[in-house]
Chain A
Amino acid sequence: METRQQLIAQIPNLRAFAVSLCGNPERADDLVQEALMKAWANLDSFQPGTNMRAWLFTILRNVYYSEYRRKKREVEDADGQMAAMLSTHPEQDGHLDLADFKQALAQLAADQREALILVGASGFSYEEAAEICGCAVGTVKSRVNRARNRLAEILSVSTASEFGPDPYTRSIIT
Chain B
Amino acid sequence: MTGQKTDMNNGNHDAERNEDVDDPMQRMIGEQLKHLYNEVLTEPIPPRLVHLLEQLDQVTADKSSKGS
Identify the A interface with B (CB < 8 A).
4, 7-8, 11-13, 15-16, 19-20, 25, 28-29, 32-33, 36-37, 40, 95, 97-98, 101-102, 105, 116-117, 119-127, 141, 144-145, 148, 151-152, 155-156
Size of B's binding interface in residues, CB under 8 A: 33
Inter-chain CA distance A151–B36, complex, in Å, is 15
Whether A105 lies near B36 (C-beta < 8 A) is yes
Whether A33 lies near B26 (C-beta < 8 A) is no
Inter-chain CA distance A13–B54, complex, in Å, is 19
Whether A8 lies near B13 (C-beta < 8 A) is no
Query: Shortest CB–CB separation between residue B46 and chain A, in angstroms?
Result: 6
Excluding A97-B32, A117-B37, 14 further A-B contacts by CB distance (< 8 Å) are A7-B53, A8-B53, A12-B42, A13-B41, A15-B45, A20-B37, A33-B49, A36-B53, A101-B29, A105-B36, A116-B33, A119-B17, A124-B13, A152-B26
Is B8 an interface position by the 8 A CB rule?
A: no
Interchain Cβ contacts within 8 Å, total number: 97
Is B52 an interface position by the 8 A CB rule?
A: yes
Inter-chain CA distance A32–B50, complex, in Å, is 11
Whether A8 lies near B36 (C-beta < 8 A) is no
A12, A37, A102, A144: the one contacting B52 at CB < 8 Å is A37
* Chain A residues near B41 (CB-CB < 8 A): 12-13, 15-16
A15, A37, A40, A102: the one contacting B40 at CB < 8 Å is A15
Nearest B residue to A19 via CB reads B40
Is B43 an interface position by the 8 A CB rule?
A: yes
Question: Do A144 and B18 contact each other (CB < 8 Å), given the known contacts A29-B49, A122-B37, A152-B26?
Answer: yes
B18, B26, B46: the one contacting A29 at CB < 8 Å is B46
Q: Which of B14-58 contact A (CB under 8 A)?
A: 16-19, 25-26, 28-30, 32-38, 40-43, 45-46, 48-50, 52-54, 56-57
